[in-house]
Amino acid sequence: MPHPLPTPEEMRRWDQLTIEEFGLSGAVLMENASRAALAALEAHAGPVRGKRVVVFAGAGNNAGDGFALARHLINLGAQVLVLHAKPLESYTADAGYHLQLLRRMDAALEYLPEYEADFLHGAHIVVDALLGTGFQGPLRPEYSRWIATINRLGQRALVLALDIPSGLCGHTGEPQPVAVQATVTITFEEPKLGLVLPPAQPFVGTLEVGKIGIPRHIKEAHPTTHIALGPEVWEHVPTPTAAMHKGIAGHVLVVGGSPGLTGAPLLAARAAYRAGAGLVTWAAPEGLLSQGAPFPETMTMSLGPAWGREAATRLHDNAHRFDSVILGPGLGRSAEAAALVAAYLKAPHPRLVLDADALFHLAQDRSLLECIPQDAVLTPHPGEMARLLATSAEAINAKRLEHARAWVTAHPSHLVLKGAGTIVASPNAPMAVSPWCAPNLAVAGSGDVLAGVLGALLAWGVPPHQAACAAVYWHGKAGDALRHHFPFRGNTPLDIAETLPHVRKE
């Protein structure tokens, strides 16, 4: 089952339906959340008896989670101080209920706006229950000060954030403009979308998920618009059989290369083999084939003296021989390459990956966008996406999800927007976010390897959306595995390709 990534609004909807239709009270959900938080805290901090704990409780429901957790900690013998952001009589509903239980335990409570933070030094554990996922920035000045206090205490104490580090946007993971730097974040029921996006990484620490009792049928009846890629993608990767032969495993055609860039199509070819393709052919003009040093397993196909319409005609004439096509690695930006792309897209292969310089030529001649097959997969990095959308890479990275969704809505096809937390977008499917933010993938040629994996999966017959999800997860997992051998980077893209079979085995 895919891993849901609810937005704050989607999580609020699940809570509401659980309370109003299923009949589980909000107070019980809050109690469940506090017990999940306690389990996460004990797992990371050990026994809490005798430890000094400071709970920063905000003004909303997140404070209720903090009040309930404080009660459990007192029961276990911790020395607990609760700092509340508004007068005690102002807490109502479920948060007020848990506050009343806490007050019956003669807990130490102080009004946060009047408390001198300097007296907090010596805390072993700090609980961040200031702001939940419903927070919309920017922060008010007093919350910025309190967050700064938590971060100072966190230099010596373990900081546990409840549901999301205060100050982070639950949609984007961006600090608004500052956020708690948690040691551990315990998020409730499912990870919120913002928690898994790259901007959140410096703040989340170790992410734990605690189930609080949202019924499965409610989540299935109201699916999220975003999911996280996980090991379930292997279900779409064909398993070898004893009786198979190379023809069954698919034949991938890689079209690309230009002077000084013949390595790109060859990296894609090697990755396609490492991802299980039975046959791989590199197609290029005759002069480029003689310049390159293909891996011995890679076949070649001459497309004539140069890129251009004649080369496209030869591709069309031989299309029946191949199960998928990768167009673009190292293709170059010459007029001849542009002519090839324009002519080829008049009758493209149905299982097509458009990568690298093929994307450049699409951006240069926007009439070609209407020629993209609906089953094609585009694999831009932020700079290439910016060129396609006539904006900047900074603008793309600021709103990656929005730009990806807008693209597949306007140009129905499949999109892999590369970068930390790579996104897979397809029409009528949830947006899929890669869990991998692997520095070892940040090397020239890494995208060529990803294209090769994708080409191999398409050649196997995997549907394009599932192929894109599996390729992104597989490629990212290979990059993550490489950090054990190359902890300070230094790996080559060929190392990524060579790691592919090993991470699938694991």
Structural tokens at position 486? 């190359």
pLDDT of residue 239: 87
Query: Domain coordinates of the chain in residue numbers?
Result: 3-228, 231-505
Rg of the chain in Å (alpha carbons): 27
How far lies 158's CA from each of 168, 220, 459, 498, in Å?
Answer: 19, 36, 49, 39
> What are the phi and psi torsion angles at 232 (to 5°)?
-65, -15
Non-local CB neighbours of 300 within 8 Å, separated by 6+ positions? 281, 282, 283, 284, 289, 294
Confidence of residue 238 (pLDDT cuts 50, 70, 90): confident
Per this entry, what is the length of the chain?
506
**Cα three-residue angle 417-207-223, rounded to 5 degrees:** 60
Confidence of residue 115 (pLDDT cuts 50, 70, 90): confident
Asked if residue 378 lies in contact with residue 413, where contact means CB atoms within 8 angstroms, the answer is yes
pLDDT of residue 243: 78
Instruction: Identify the three-state secondary structure at position 350.
Output: coil
pLDDT of residue 472: 98
Asked if residue 475 lies in contact with residue 496, where contact means CB atoms within 8 angstroms, the answer is yes
Beta bridge partners of 200: none
Average pLDDT over residues 119-137: 90
pLDDT of residue 119: 59
pLDDT of residue 117: 61
pLDDT of residue 118: 57
C-alpha count within 13 angstroms, C-beta hemisphere, residue 396:
22
pLDDT digits (tens, 9 = 90+) for 445-483: 999 999 999 999 999 999 999 999 999 999 999 999 999
pLDDT digits (tens, 9 = 90+) for 34-53: 999 999 999 999 999 999 99
Q: What is the mean pLDDT of the chain?
A: 95
pLDDT digits (tens, 9 = 90+) for 267-287: 999 999 999 999 999 999 999
Q: Is the pLDDT of residue 257 over 70?
A: yes
Average pLDDT over residues 420-429: 94
pLDDT digits (tens, 9 = 90+) for 303-318: 999 999 999 999 999 9
pLDDT digits (tens, 9 = 90+) for 15-38: 999 999 999 999 999 999 999 999
pLDDT of residue 505: 81
Structural class in CATH, domain 3-228: alpha beta
What kind of architecture, by CATH, is found in domain 231-505?
3-Layer(aba) Sandwich (3.40)
pLDDT of residue 295: 81
Beta strands in 75-124, from DSSP E residues, in sequence order? 79-84, 108-111
pLDDT digits (tens, 9 = 90+) for 357-409: 999 999 999 999 999 999 999 999 999 999 999 999 999 998 999 999 999 99
Structural tokens at position 171? 């949609």
pLDDT of residue 242: 82
> What are the phi and psi torsion angles at 215 (to 5°)?
-60, 140
The 8-class DSSP code of residue 237 comes to: S
Structural tokens at position 312? 């496209």
* pTM of the entire predicted model: 0.92
Question: What whole-number distance in Å separates Cα of residue 350 and Cα of residue 377?
Answer: 10
pLDDT of residue 1: 60
Pick the closest to residue 249 from 262, 259, 235, 238 (CA basis): 238
100 vs 398, which has greater pLDDT? 100
Non-local CB neighbours of 467 within 8 Å, separated by 6+ positions? 236, 377, 454, 457, 458
C-alpha count within 13 angstroms, C-beta hemisphere, residue 440:
25
Question: What whole-number distance in Å separates Cα of residue 44 and Cα of residue 56?
Answer: 19
